[in-house]
Amino acid sequence: MLGRIVIDDLRPRTPSRSFPAKAVEGEAVTVSGDIFADGHDVLAARVRTRRRGARRWGGEAPMVHLGNDRWETIVRFDGPGRHEVVVEAWRDRFATWRHDVSVKAGAGQDVELELEEGARLLDELTPLVPELRRAMVADAAAALRRSACSVEVRLNAGLDDAVAAAVAGVPLPGGVSAADPLPVWVDRPRGRAGAWYELFPRSEGGFSGVAKRLAAVADMGFDIVYLPPVHPIGRQHRKGRDNTLAAGPDDVGSPWAIGAAEGGHTALHPELGTFDDFDAMVAEARDQGMEIALDYALQCAPDHPWVGEHPEWFHHRPDGTIRYAENPPKRYQDIYPINFWPEDEADRVALWEASRDILTFWIGHGVRTFRVDNPHTKPMAFWAWAIPDIQRAHPDVLFLAEAFTRPKVMAKLAEVGFTQSYTYFTWRTTKAELTAYVTELSTGPTADYMRPNFWPNTPDILSGPLRNGSPAAFRLRLLLAATLSPSYGIYRGYEWCENEPQSDANEEYRNSEKYELRPRGWDDEAGPLTPFVRRVNQARRAHPALATLRNTRFHHSSKDALLVYSRASDEGDDLVLCVVNLDPDHWQEDTLSLDLGALGLPGDEAYEAHDELTGATYTWYGPHPYVRLDPAEQPGHVLHLRAARPA
Amino acid sequence: MLGRIVIDDLRPRTPSRSFPAKAVEGEAVTVSGDIFADGHDVLAARVRTRRRGARRWGGEAPMVHLGNDRWETIVRFDGPGRHEVVVEAWRDRFATWRHDVSVKAGAGQDVELELEEGARLLDELTPLVPELRRAMVADAAAALRRSACSVEVRLNAGLDDAVAAAVAGVPLPGGVSAADPLPVWVDRPRGRAGAWYELFPRSEGGFSGVAKRLAAVADMGFDIVYLPPVHPIGRQHRKGRDNTLAAGPDDVGSPWAIGAAEGGHTALHPELGTFDDFDAMVAEARDQGMEIALDYALQCAPDHPWVGEHPEWFHHRPDGTIRYAENPPKRYQDIYPINFWPEDEADRVALWEASRDILTFWIGHGVRTFRVDNPHTKPMAFWAWAIPDIQRAHPDVLFLAEAFTRPKVMAKLAEVGFTQSYTYFTWRTTKAELTAYVTELSTGPTADYMRPNFWPNTPDILSGPLRNGSPAAFRLRLLLAATLSPSYGIYRGYEWCENEPQSDANEEYRNSEKYELRPRGWDDEAGPLTPFVRRVNQARRAHPALATLRNTRFHHSSKDALLVYSRASDEGDDLVLCVVNLDPDHWQEDTLSLDLGALGLPGDEAYEAHDELTGATYTWYGPHPYVRLDPAEQPGHVLHLRAARPA
């Protein structure tokens, strides 16, 4: 049965309402809903939160009525794990009485009976209010009944604001309507914001080589170092350089062709190092304030041990062979897809558990973040089971979905549990495209469950202005990724402005590192963009505003090449305005139109704009500052805005 | 656990997804959903429908993929009652095989093994296809294996369209993913479309007087005659003329002050007639092809028998009196609101059942439609219980919500079960307002569960251009109501162009019929608008397009005073274009811009536009016909559009 008060359309929620919404520790999460009842009574509502399974409420916040029967409040969650949010509403009988009796008295109506009704209501409420205020409430009830006094005097005693405050938020027993709990999955802050750096350990001299370079990566300001698969690479049908069919004896193969005689998903490629080396690299990352993310690619090379041990986990053909991966007419003979739905249910359970146990194994080696390869080619039901199963025991584990697939599939992967998702950012380059896409991702229902991770490049994708692009184009796309999304990443080579495409028709790199070693310099020989990357990451670290997603707002510029957006911190105490020139070849100038009211800045006083990239500070007045951006110097301003100090 | 195939975001549904969507018998209902799976397999999907509780499926329709993983089909329901809709999807393994083998053969790849795989698939499918086609499918399997023939010959046999058609829509056992059933409440067609006429029987000489006038009402083309409450009227605190406090001895009182010594909600006002008279009136309406709708107003006059019999069903004050209705500082001493939540749960159950039994009583007297007075001042939970409870036994019963309240409350009343709702039409007069409002009501999620009923006037509301309005204004608002909404109604007096407001500040009528008798003429003395009303209703009856809601589309006119909209029938075989001059004082002309493609009309051939109001027929070419509308002659065109017959 419906409750006495209707509580509807609650947010945050996911589209199917069958999975938890997402938040991070400490994030300001708006909880809202439609709340109404029959009649004219004043309503009150609150949100209570607790960890799933906990008996006690961990937090409580009163909701406010925004109008049109919509109520909201802000809550925060104290740590990773599954939480629940319950919205409760009740008729605020004292506020209703207070309103009605005031209006009646104001209209000259007799309120003698109303005074007694108010006194009785306070009698009921007295034992429920906090002890310190009980006497005050009881006194107010007595005052309402003090027949020696005039109606006016007694009424004033009953209308006392302190009394109203004391009983506000105190529902009478039996009068509370509660909505079904909203589940919210809470990640550690890195689940929302972080700078990723992808490198191939084999190009860096294996795990010990990576460990030596982590200080330089940390110095660039990255938070997560993501490694492509570190497992033995199949030899059967191994691919040669640039994805050619015939591998020579020295070809190293694709790390995604996982498994060989040396082992499968829980083994290390012998040439990368030992488990001791691996563990030392993980520890060194931690010492540098970073972490190592591994690739989780559920597929097997033909010589993966599972093929012999568990033929029932693969697809078989009438001639007894195992089906390799195909997307006709394309063939991937070096990869066997896994059959996630073997006929025998016991086989399915064994396979899914073995797949999950790969994660558990690496968690045992200190890994807390996984970049999941092609999650859309594995069953949605697998992720909906495996991710919560892992996170129940390890709530600090994060999953980034390499969901380069159709929009609804990408969204569903986020809904069923992925912490973050790769996005279409790589292919969004114009002002209209970027504005629409970031607005979709940062506002409304999407941001309740899907968190973007913007990558200007990956080992698979050299796209848009980066193809044969200038250093200015590389600076531009990095700045956009790093300031439009709280999570972003680059694949090493980016700071070297590697820009040579495989071919006009192919989005991949020429001399792709997926199939060969690509050693590059460090330290003195760092890439030409290294200082710029460092400055951008420093700006990100200095500004909590750049760690948020939902508070992104676009501002008007009359120029198609100028993208103007602001982001504010959860607390509202940090504000960054970015003005980016989308044209890497020509300077642009404009007089902007900022929405100062939305920014919380005064319209009639000076404010300061400090450029985090150049160190320059501008003093601006009003909503129409002039900007000029030359891409040869900088792709954009990253401006810390604040009201100017008095002169 | 999620199924192997994701089936998501299904429609039709209600906002909370906790109540049935709505349809009427025979209505073309679009069922749609997101359907996708991992991998590249071709999917197939279908919708199956059945009455709730039935073992057998009553209908089945294959779904088609619209793109972006959205699938849809159209289903129809065969009769009133609760139905369920199940969307099922599976991998179409034969279509996948057919696609893949064609591509591979086209690329010159060896497909010998694929032929055997196709044969094995057909072996599996053979026993599942309808008997008539089994031999054909088995033959195709044999042909695929005929080693004496070339690969080309065998492949062609396997790719035969007839074979593909035979196995299309045949899922293999165990391979079907089914979504949770969608509930749909199906009403008789009158639940969606009908013309209502409200009259006060006491102004017409009671039930026998009404019965005599039903032929004239039917002649005007109305479907439902709605009567304000027909029960005894309270004498205590009875209101006088125009809602004055002091009733004279001859004042008849408001029919909504229900209950007196003679009885309550199941009694008849003695001056209106006997139950025999009432039953005869109901029967006469039926003979005239109409029906009688009663008012269901859950409130009591102070002398209602319930007040004495069930004091626990009312609110009590400290002095022992019963609380009358108030909206401070307004007081309604002639009305006692019911306390729907008595402290004792048994009292609540008894009250709710007694309230429901009022409906059952009048259903026993042949009434099948109820106009519910102020439903938003009664608990939502009551309606969510009472309406399905009544409709379970009487699925042909309809409820119109007088939900003149806030938008979310209006929508929720529709969601929990009301068949139709009064709307804000009365206060929507400009082109922008009407376009936005009708678009909201006729498209998207709202039309899945809420059906509008447009009233230009009610006994409570004389608004907008009707206040001191001209006959042209009355024609205009009637035409809009009757052609923008499949259900509409007028309160008698409208065709007399009664236009005198209570006061400048008051939306009610002067000399309101709610408090006094207002006899008017019939037959020869019919109102000045009677012929116009008749023509509009005749057009409605002639055109199934005007009985639909979802197929409403607005077209462009450069004039703010011209509203142009088309409506199409469920079957797409009837098309009506309305061009309405919203300015009752000045003629308007324009060259329109019709979306002929959306109308299904040829862009390069003539089409006919027959005006159902004037009888004129125009032959138009192209999307830019010229129109000129003089409000002194007619408020708008109601044009039946069709491709012109060959000359």
Q: What is the pLDDT of residues A352-365, one digit of tens each?
A: 999 999 999 999 99
- Give me the residue from A99, A103, A378 closest to B38, CB to CB: A378
Residue A333 lies in a domain: no
Residue of B nearest to A70 (CA): B408
* CA–CA distances in Å: residue A245 to residues A87, B185, B550: 60, 60, 56
Gap from B409 CA to chain A (nearest CA, Å)? 7
In the structure encoding, which two tokens stand for residue B203, read together? 């102004």
pLDDT at residue number B147: 87
Q: What percent of chain B has pLDDT over 70?
A: 99
Same domain, yes or no: A635 and A580: yes
- The continuous run of DSSP H or E covering A439 comes out as helix A431-442
Has residue A524 got a pLDDT over 90? no
pLDDT at residue number A522: 86
The separation between the first and the last C-alpha atoms of chain B, rounded to the nearest angstrom, is: 64
Has residue B98 got a pLDDT over 90? yes
Given an 8 Å threshold on Cβ–Cβ distance, is A1 in contact with B385?
yes
For B:190-249, CB contacts with A below 8 A are none
Residues of B in contact with A340 (CB under 8 A): 38
| CATH number of the domain enclosing A625 | 2.60.40.1180
User: Which residue has better confidence, A329 or B217?
Assistant: B217
User: For A157-163, what is the mean pLDDT?
Assistant: 91
Residue with tokens 């001399």, as numbered in its chain: A511
pLDDT at residue number B474: 98
**Whole-model pTM?**
0.95
pLDDT at residue number B487: 98
In the structure encoding, which two tokens stand for residue A237, read together? 């049908």
Per-residue model confidence as pLDDT tens digits over A33-61: 999 999 889 999 999 999 999 999 999 99
- A425, burial (CB in 10 Å: exposed 0-12, middle 13-18, buried 19+): buried
Has residue A445 got a pLDDT over 70? yes
- Give me the residue from B16, B328, B408 closest to A104, CB to CB: B328
For B:71-100, CB contacts with A below 8 A are 99-100
Same domain, yes or no: A196 and A178: no
User: Residue A1's pLDDT band (boundaries 50, 70, 90)?
Assistant: low
Same domain, yes or no: B73 and B139: yes
User: For A481-495, what is the mean pLDDT?
Assistant: 97
Residues of A in contact with B37 (CB under 8 A): 379-380
Contact B46, B63 (CB under 8 A): yes
Same domain, yes or no: A271 and A361: yes
Task: Identify the sign of the CA torsion A196, A201, A202, A204.
Answer: positive
User: For A165-179, what is the mean pLDDT?
Assistant: 90
Per-residue model confidence as pLDDT tens digits over B417-472: 999 999 999 999 999 999 999 999 998 799 999 999 999 999 999 999 999 999 99
Per-residue model confidence as pLDDT tens digits over A405-441: 999 999 999 999 999 999 999 999 999 999 999 999 9
Per-residue model confidence as pLDDT tens digits over B462-521: 999 999 999 999 999 999 999 999 999 999 999 999 999 999 999 999 999 999 999 998
pLDDT at residue number A174: 83
User: Residue A173's pLDDT band (boundaries 50, 70, 90)?
Assistant: confident
Residue with tokens 């520890």, as numbered in its chain: A283
Same domain, yes or no: B562 and B541: no
User: Which residue has better confidence, A609 or B327?
Assistant: A609
Given an 8 Å threshold on Cβ–Cβ distance, is A384 in contact with B68?
no
Residue of A nearest to B3 (CA): A381
Same domain, yes or no: A264 and A286: yes
User: For A254-269, what is the mean pLDDT?
Assistant: 97
Same domain, yes or no: B481 and B627: no
Residues of B in contact with A348 (CB under 8 A): none
Same domain, yes or no: B354 and B489: yes
User: For B96-119, what is the mean pLDDT?
Assistant: 95
User: For B82-87, what is the mean pLDDT?
Assistant: 98
pLDDT at residue number A646: 59
Contact A625, A609 (CB under 8 A): yes
Which stretch of A65-69, A138-142, A519-523 has the lowest confidence by average pLDDT?
A519-523
Same domain, yes or no: A428 and A468: yes
The answer to whether residue A34 neighbours chain B at the CB level (below 8 Å) is yes
User: Residue A258's pLDDT band (boundaries 50, 70, 90)?
Assistant: very high
- The rounded mean pLDDT for chain A is 95
The answer to whether residue B67 neighbours chain A at the CB level (below 8 Å) is no
User: Residue B646's pLDDT band (boundaries 50, 70, 90)?
Assistant: low
Residue A324 lies in a domain: no
Residue B322 lies in a domain: no
Separation of alpha carbons A399 and A453, rounded Å? 11
Has residue A525 got a pLDDT over 90? no
Has residue A169 got a pLDDT over 90? no
Separation of alpha carbons B417 and B388, rounded Å? 7
Residue with tokens 């007088």, as numbered in its chain: B402
Same domain, yes or no: A519 and A558: no
Domain range spanning residue A219?
190-234+251-297+344-546
User: For A565-575, what is the mean pLDDT?
Assistant: 94
| CATH number of the domain enclosing B431 | 3.20.20.80
Separation of alpha carbons A186 and A396, rounded Å? 9
Separation of alpha carbons B580 and B435, rounded Å? 12
The answer to whether residue B38 neighbours chain A at the CB level (below 8 Å) is yes
pLDDT at residue number A444: 75
User: Residue A214's pLDDT band (boundaries 50, 70, 90)?
Assistant: very high
Residues of B in contact with A384 (CB under 8 A): 1-2
The answer to whether residue B8 neighbours chain A at the CB level (below 8 Å) is yes
Residue B108 CA from chain centroid, whole number? 57
pLDDT at residue number A500: 96
User: Residue B523's pLDDT band (boundaries 50, 70, 90)?
Assistant: confident
pLDDT at residue number A465: 94
| CATH number of the domain enclosing A11 | 2.60.40.10
Residue A216 CA from chain centroid, whole number? 26
Residue B339 lies in a domain: no
pLDDT at residue number B3: 83
Residue A20 lies in a domain: yes
Last residue of a domain, one of A513, A546, A579: A546
pLDDT at residue number B526: 81
Residue B246 lies in a domain: no
Residue of A nearest to B337 (CA): A39
Residue A278 lies in a domain: yes
Task: Identify the sign of the CA torsion B12, B14, B16, B19.
Answer: negative
Residues of B in contact with A4 (CB under 8 A): 341, 379, 381
Same domain, yes or no: B475 and B584: no
Last residue of a domain, one of A526, A546, A566: A546
Last residue of a domain, one of A186, A201, A217: A186
Per-residue model confidence as pLDDT tens digits over B27-47: 999 999 999 999 889 999 999
pLDDT at residue number B1: 65
Nearest-5° Cα angle at B114, B113 to B116: 70
Has residue B647 got a pLDDT over 80? no
Three-state secondary structure string covering B290-346: CEEEEEECCEECCCCHHHHHCHHHECECCCCCECCEEECCEEECCCEEECCCCCCHH
- The rounded mean pLDDT for chain B is 95
Same domain, yes or no: A493 and A605: no
List residues of A with catalytic annotation: 373, 402
Residue B181 lies in a domain: yes
Contact A250, A281 (CB under 8 A): no
Per-residue model confidence as pLDDT tens digits over B589-641: 999 999 999 999 988 889 999 999 999 999 999 999 999 999 999 999 999 99
Q: How many domains does chain B have?
A: 3
